[in-house]
A and B are shown apart, each in its own frame.
Chain A
Amino acid sequence: GAGVSQSPSNKVTEKGKDVELRCDPISGHTALYWYRQSLGQGLEFLIYFQGNSAPDKSGLPSDRFSAERTGGSVSTLTIQRTQQEDSAVYLCASSLVLGGRRVGETQYFGPGTRLLVL
């Protein structure tokens, strides 16, 4: 595809339910990022995948949050036992990343998944 895609675009769930959010990065991009943006707030880093390296999970807010990236492409962010404070827009981004240099640093964002926990 031409850009980063995310699904679903909107998700309404009840407190305590599990949700899965999907991200399909730009073809060939080796780096994938998940962010969370609450209403009127900045971007909060959640997790970063780079190739076959161990992911950087330092931004995950609790052990209810997990993410995986299968085959170096599609990623799924899972939130277990959702809470109302999990309501936010979840954004996925990917970047090309060539070697260790600046080339390919630009992160391209998907349209986001708007999660509402009732």
Chain B
Amino acid sequence: QKEVEQNSGPLSVPEGAIASLNCTYSDRVSQSFFWYRQYSGKSPELIMSIYSNGDKEDGRFTAQLNKASQYVSLLIRDSQPSDSATYLCAKRAGNNRKLIWGLGTSLAVNP
């Protein structure tokens, strides 16, 4: 089992809908989780970080963390075509600051 798993997609949603992206991880020790967005041909950029169980909201984005179930999700409300990108989930590898990455979920928001 990969340390961080994501559905590769593509996930296709209509403009204005809620996009739901999920990520599962394989240990109960990880404490820090991150969602990055990567446009085609560009570098990843941070959307959200989350450390505690529950929801964390930032504008149209909400990250949800459930450590008991070992999953973290990202909801994008009122999806826009500009949200079309690959969304990468990552977790911090214990005390080491390197991140372990999922392979990403491709999201397409259709006008």
Contact = CB atoms under 8 A, between A and B. Distances in A.
Interface of A: 31, 33, 41-43, 45, 48, 50, 56, 59, 91, 95, 97, 100, 102, 105-112
Contacts of B92: 105
A102 B33 CA distance: 11
A112 B104 contact: no
A87 to B, nearest CB: 15
Enumerate the 7 nearest inter-chain pairs by beta-carbon distance, A residue then B residue, closest first: A109-B43, A42-B103, A43-B101, A48-B98, A42-B101, A106-B46, A45-B98
Contacts of B96: 48, 56
Contacts of A43: 44, 88, 90, 99, 101
A43 B38 CA distance: 11
Given A102-B51, A107-B46, A109-B45, A42 B99 contact: no
Interface in B37-54: 42-46, 49, 51
Nearest to A91: B43
A41 B32 CA distance: 22
Interface residues of B, number: 22
A109 B44 contact: yes
A100 B32 CA distance: 13
Contacts of B43: 91, 109-112
Contacts of B49: 102, 105-106
Contacts of A95: 97
A95 to B, nearest CB: 7
Interface in B1-55: 32, 34, 42-46, 49, 51
Nearest to A105: B32
Interface string B71-108: 00000000000000000101010011111111110000
A41 B104 CA distance: 8
Contact of B99 (A45, A50, A102, A108): A45
**A41, A43, A109: which has the most chain B beta carbons within 10 Å?**
A43
Contacts of B90: 43
